[in-house]
């Protein structure tokens, strides 16, 4: 199989995409993540870079961090991503995989941007029903925390909660169980795609531009 780059958000959907790709025998050679330069955090998810790097270490795949300016225009984003794609092609990658589920406009945008780049877009989770998918993730041992919620869709109290059966039962009916419409984002700290779990602890809650972030922190290493 050709070497594949995986768009890695630090959340459950990209983690599950990794699991499926590995099951299919696809070689995932690097994780590609956009970073807000000003905050040194994962763009959109608000996850600290140190936790992102811990994920890459636990998974055993190199991390490619793509720094984005803040504020970031669409032109800035596309230029930085195009540069990352050129690097991937130069290093022998033939495809890039995404954890998208059903947003057709997002998929169409990715396909347009990659046309002629030398990278084939892959969508291993495409059109999987999200309610059973969420339950399957949890049953398989994927462990994640809600890192960010959109205040227009969810109350701030959901930020920081465990992504588990209790959370799914508490979600309002209009909210997608996987948060595919941007209602919430997650940070994965354990699962079948990890060699070892990542120890985390809750930090302060903060609200920025209508989004509530749970500032997850790496647990300090014991001195024992």
Residues 116 and 208 in one domain: no
Q: Are 138 and 165 spatial neighbours (Cβ–Cβ below 8 Å)?
A: yes
Based on the structure, what is the number of domains in the chain?
2
Beta strand segments in the chain, E: 3-7, 27-36, 41-42, 63-68, 95-97, 120-122, 143-150, 184-190, 200-201, 205-208, 211-214, 217-218
Which domain, by its residues, includes 202?
130-218
* pTM, full prediction: 0.95
| Burial of residue 42, with CB atoms counted within 10 A of its CB: 0-12 exposed, 13-18 middle, 19 or more buried | buried
The pLDDT of 159-174, averaged and rounded, is 97
Residues 8 and 109 in one domain: yes
Residues 103-135 have pLDDT tens digits of 999 999 999 999 999 999 999 999 999 999 999
Residues 72 and 88 in one domain: yes
From 76, 103, 122, the end of a domain falls on 122
Specify the higher pLDDT residue, 161 or 1.
161
Residue 52 confidence (pLDDT) above 90: yes
Residue 224 confidence (pLDDT) above 60: no
Residue 34 confidence (pLDDT) above 90: yes
Q: How far apart are CA 206 and CA 222, in angstroms?
A: 28
Residues 139 and 191 in one domain: yes
């Amino acid at each position: 199989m050709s070497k594949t780059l995986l768009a890695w958000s630090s959340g459950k959907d990209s983690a599950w995409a990794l699991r499926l790709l590995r099951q299919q025998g696809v070689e995932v050679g690097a994780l590609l993540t956009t970073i807000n330069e000003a905050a040194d955090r994962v763009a959109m998810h608000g996850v600290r870079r140190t936790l992102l790097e811990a994920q890459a270490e636990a998974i055993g795949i190199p991390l490619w961090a793509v720094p984005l300016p803040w504020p970031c225009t669409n032109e800035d984003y596309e230029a930085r991503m195009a540069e990352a794609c050129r690097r991937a092609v130069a290093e022998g990658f033939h495809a890039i995989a995404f954890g998208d589920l059903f947003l057709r406009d997002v998929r169409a945008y990715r396909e347009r941007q990659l046309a002629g780049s030398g990278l084939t877009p892959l969508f291993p989770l495409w059109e999987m029903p999200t309610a059973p998918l969420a339950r399957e993730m949890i049953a398989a041992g994927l462990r994640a925390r809600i890192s960010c919620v959109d205040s227009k869709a969810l109350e701030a109290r959901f930020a920081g909660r465990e992504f588990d059966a209790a959370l799914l039962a508490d979600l309002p009916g209009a909210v997608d169980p996987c948060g595919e419409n941007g209602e919430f984002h997650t940070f994965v700290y354990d699962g079948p795609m990890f060699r070892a779990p990542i120890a985390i602890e809750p930090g302060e809650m903060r609200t920025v531009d209508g989004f509530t972030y749970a500032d997850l922190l790496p647990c300090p290493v014991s001195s024992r």
